[in-house]
Structure 1
């Protein structure tokens, strides 16, 4: 099975499959893009058409409302109506004949607009003045509509479905008396047939077009016939563009009428909006299939043309395994493959010459490595020699010098130790190294040097890079103790940091210190600037600073490096903090 798979894993098959996959991806992406864009355009066109229909329906609704508003305004401003309401307001009782005269006036206006079923006129104290019967405005409509009519001061207020007649809608306006400074003289109620607001056949669904509905805030259908209508309140509450209604999916557009506070709903079946997308999908699938077949054939032909010369070149290479490398004599027409064949033949010509050169270089390299191996110095030879000095001094009674030799031996062994395995030590081991160094310097400087090391047991187990503290101590002696007149002191203090999980290390001396300019120059040197030291190499503090930021660079560990405080005649204090866990670098063993 594996052998068959290996035989199929050829360059021609890879090119063929690669081209095919690329073409499939291109066809799929381009088809999806075209489908999405065209679908988007079709939907946008349908949505613009729906929006235009909604705007037109809203315009028709406003025109119908303006007609009712104009009619009721003319009736309210009629001189006879104004006179009768003024007399009622003055306390004069209107006679039967005067009330009868209103019938001719109302009939004349209704003749121009048959959709107005009736007009009702009430006095300011809510008594029915016309038609000629007993009645009260308070029992006809609810008080909030009367209050709203008073607030609007003569503007038409739409109430909705007539409580006494489901086939009619009510509107009320306050009658303002023009001779009494437009004070409230009464109320005029207009009863309009619901068919007057029939903007479209609601929810017919027979032609697949839009359905235009007029709905109030209670979800009642206001336009149309008197037949019972479905509950439309869920459509008003929904904010989705696509809604489900009567087991069908619709795209809805809602417009709010400022004149009536009613909502105009335009419902369009989703099938009408997406009409044509199925045809587009079929066209894209057919064209994608034809394109894939054509590209399949072209990919096979192209992959064969590319790989045939390579196969001849492989055969020539296989012949070279049996002995001396031989060039490929097969002619190639393609420029790139011809250049490859020419390069291969040139390489074959050079490789035979290089075999001899490589052999000679290997012989010379072996001799050089042997001489370098003989010239190497074994660090153990130095340790054994120091041990021999120690035994010799002890036999002669020079115990102090013998102790100094032991300290130097341990000092060298600590420094020259295996860097790969002893790169990290504990603070306790590092402090032992600092003590050995201070003892040697004490032997050299005598009473001029005094030193102190403070280290508690918990901090002694904190891991640190080897030789991290000794260069700072060496710098304190070189520039601090030796730079002053008289005796000097160096202190190394290790304490817990104020940050949890960190340890604070301070090295201080009582030397001459530095002024502010020198301190600034030192900080510049620590960041890679020029050295300011006039003694030694001047790289001790820079080395420590770089190692601090190198070793403690783990994620979540903030390493600021060394902080230096120094004043003239007060000495210098160098402080830095390290994490107790050694940081990510130590944990990973890097």
Structure 2
């Protein structure tokens, strides 16, 4: 399999996993940085626009204060006050006085900028200046006069003159100082629209602003007083319709900022191209994309190198392990600078050394096993020869009429077959098989002890079918004969009982004799030997070996399902040995 033969290779998984993580990290960081910085740039741009609007409003206030101051000086001049007071008293103003008033006003105009003309009217709307007989009601609408009256001496900015669209009109009442500031007449001032040029004064050092932003001064009726809009007529129509926070003009989007003048009620409107505000964001986005691409490429190269460094020793190890299928187990050179890979190589080399040793051991064992099997085949002749010999004894004794001895030979043959044969079969038999084997043993011992030995076997049919390990009962019978009957003077009896236990699902097997029994010290010593196990019992001068074997086998076969071997004995009254086994063994 090639290095890139499958997506499941370690190199591909490392490569794809690292790239995925890197892309996620770069994308997350880039998105977060773009979002935060774009918000910051946008906020800075908005602050700049707001600052521009504040500066423009400040400039407008300065211009308005200049007109306010100028008209206040004229309204409070001695000649205007005297002439209007005379008019209030019913006097007539001569033409010469009006000329003198005109000269006085012209002197004031010489120090003012943006003033096209000044008109002065009496309280009954008669024009005093200029020197033409025109009524105030013919010059301005009555509602404008109402606004001026409501202002009670403050200057009122009325807006564009209907006859001269390039002129802005402002009016104020003239209050007579010597007569407790009573109403005396009106002053109307005509101001050039160019006087309200705000753009150049806001930040003349910044050429970029003038190139990107457009600014206009709009009166209360939506008419443009001053602006640097490219198409004032189009802008006037759009302003009449109303604008929200953004507007689209000539295919370009603009942010719209409005700042209202409290003195005039006019609005300063600033249009800033969205592209200008987003210019820094676009540069930022480009920088982030380039950074992500460059970082991704660099990480791609580094990941490829790292994955190669990790997987190359593993691939060499895999190659060496594949060669093991052909019987070639050779250590590999360990050259990796990575501790884990180096440890993996060393572990493999140790495993190769161990496997080579094991192969040699297995090879030697196979030779020994072959020789053992050959000897086993040869040894199979010995039991066969023994059984045939016993069979010949039986027929010889039967022909001579010695039936009792013949039965003993049959019992010996059955005993040997039970012990020696079935070596390759299951060690488990039934209780019935064990009882038959014990009875054969008793028959043989009967031949030796003659009338000194008798026995009885009691077992119900259900208990006989209980499974039991082979040769578990016979050692108890043998122990009862050797240490019970043989130690008794005269006739002795062995009782072998198999009965259901008081605990449901269990069978009790009991072997008892009527021998001399044991005192308490000897019984305690025997039980101690059983606790020591088979080895401990063998050390006690060869006594109790069979009992320790039975105890140990019970513990091994039944574990916690048996209480082990139970021994009861009284001096002069015999000994009883018993154990309890389950009717069905778990796992069988």
- TM-score for the superposition, normalised by structure 1: 0.51
Aligned to 1:575: none
Residues 314-349 of structure 1 show CA distances to partners (whole Å, capped at 9, x for unaligned) of: 6788899999xx999885853334666789999999
**Whole-Å Cα distance in 1 between the matches of residues 261 and 125 of structure 2?**
29
**Helix, strand or coil for the counterpart of 2:224?**
coil
Choose from 206, 211, 234 the match for 2:214.
211
Matches within 5 A, 1:374-393: none
Aligned to 1:125: 124
Q: 1:328 to 1:293 in 2, by over 3 A?
A: same
**Helix, strand or coil for the counterpart of 1:222?**
strand
Matches within 5 A, 1:124-273: 124-200=123-199, 208-223=211-226, 229-232=233-236, 234-235=238-239, 237-240=242-245, 242-273=246-277
**Helix, strand or coil for the counterpart of 1:133?**
coil
Residue 262 of structure 1 deviates from its aligned partner by 0.8
Q: 1:183 to 1:246 in 2, by over 3 A?
A: farther
Contact 2:214/2:227, CA 8 A, preserved across alignment: no
Residues 182-236 of structure 1 show CA distances to partners (whole Å, capped at 9, x for unaligned) of: 111111111111111122389x999633222111132211026999633346458
**Helix, strand or coil for the counterpart of 2:121?**
strand
**Helix, strand or coil for the counterpart of 1:229?**
helix
**Whole-Å Cα distance in 1 between the matches of residues 87 and 251 of structure 2?**
57
Aligned to 1:304: 308
Matches within 5 A, 1:313-332: none
**Whole-Å Cα distance in 2 between the matches of residues 68 and 18 of structure 1?**
74
**Whole-Å Cα distance in 1 between the matches of residues 149 and 198 of structure 2?**
30
Gaps of 5+ in 1: 353-362, 364-373, 375-590
Q: 1:168 to 1:327 in 2, by over 3 A?
A: same
**Helix, strand or coil for the counterpart of 2:253?**
strand
Aligned to 2:78: 79
Aligned to 2:90: 91
Aligned to 1:459: none
**Helix, strand or coil for the counterpart of 1:154?**
coil
Residues 44-73 of structure 1 show CA distances to partners (whole Å, capped at 9, x for unaligned) of: 444443333333222221111111101100
Matches within 5 A, 1:403-422: none
Aligned to 1:288: 292
Matches within 5 A, 1:348-497: none
Q: 1:8 to 1:138 in 2, by over 3 A?
A: same
Gaps of 5+ in 2: 202-206, 359-425, 427-461, 463-588
**Whole-Å Cα distance in 2 between the matches of residues 113 and 125 of structure 1?**
28
Q: 1:184 to 1:78 in 2, by over 3 A?
A: same
2:119 equivalent to 1:116: no
Aligned to 1:58: 57
Residue 92 of structure 1 deviates from its aligned partner by 2.5
Residue 310 of structure 1 deviates from its aligned partner by 4.6
**Whole-Å Cα distance in 2 between the matches of residues 186 and 346 of structure 1?**
118
**Whole-Å Cα distance in 1 between the matches of residues 172 and 44 of structure 2?**
42
Residue 116 of structure 1 deviates from its aligned partner by 1.2
Residue 77 of structure 1 deviates from its aligned partner by 0.8
Residue 256 of structure 1 deviates from its aligned partner by 1.1
Contact 1:122/1:186, CA 8 A, preserved across alignment: yes
Q: 1:347 to 1:138 in 2, by over 3 A?
A: farther
**Whole-Å Cα distance in 2 between the matches of residues 228 and 250 of structure 1?**
16
Contact 2:113/2:195, CA 8 A, preserved across alignment: no
Residues 1-56 of structure 1 show CA distances to partners (whole Å, capped at 9, x for unaligned) of: xx999833222211111111222222333333444444444444444433333332
**Whole-Å Cα distance in 2 between the matches of residues 169 and 7 of structure 1?**
83
**Whole-Å Cα distance in 2 between the matches of residues 114 and 259 of structure 1?**
20
Residue 156 of structure 1 deviates from its aligned partner by 0.6
Q: 1:98 to 1:48 in 2, by over 3 A?
A: same
Residues 463-512 of structure 1 show CA distances to partners (whole Å, capped at 9, x for unaligned) of: xxxxxxxxxxxxxxxxxxxxxxxxxxxxxxxxxxxxxxxxxxxxxxxxxx
**Helix, strand or coil for the counterpart of 1:230?**
helix
Q: 1:184 to 1:337 in 2, by over 3 A?
A: same
Contact 2:334/2:346, CA 8 A, preserved across alignment: no
The count of residues paired between Structure 1 and Structure 2 equals 348
**Whole-Å Cα distance in 1 between the matches of residues 236 and 101 of structure 2?**
40
Aligned to 2:29: 30
Contact 2:215/2:227, CA 8 A, preserved across alignment: no
- TM-score for the superposition, normalised by structure 2: 0.51
**Whole-Å Cα distance in 2 between the matches of residues 301 and 4 of structure 1?**
13
Bigger Rg, which one = 2
Q: 1:20 to 1:235 in 2, by over 3 A?
A: farther
**Whole-Å Cα distance in 1 between the matches of residues 10 and 60 of structure 2?**
73
Contact 2:254/2:271, CA 8 A, preserved across alignment: yes
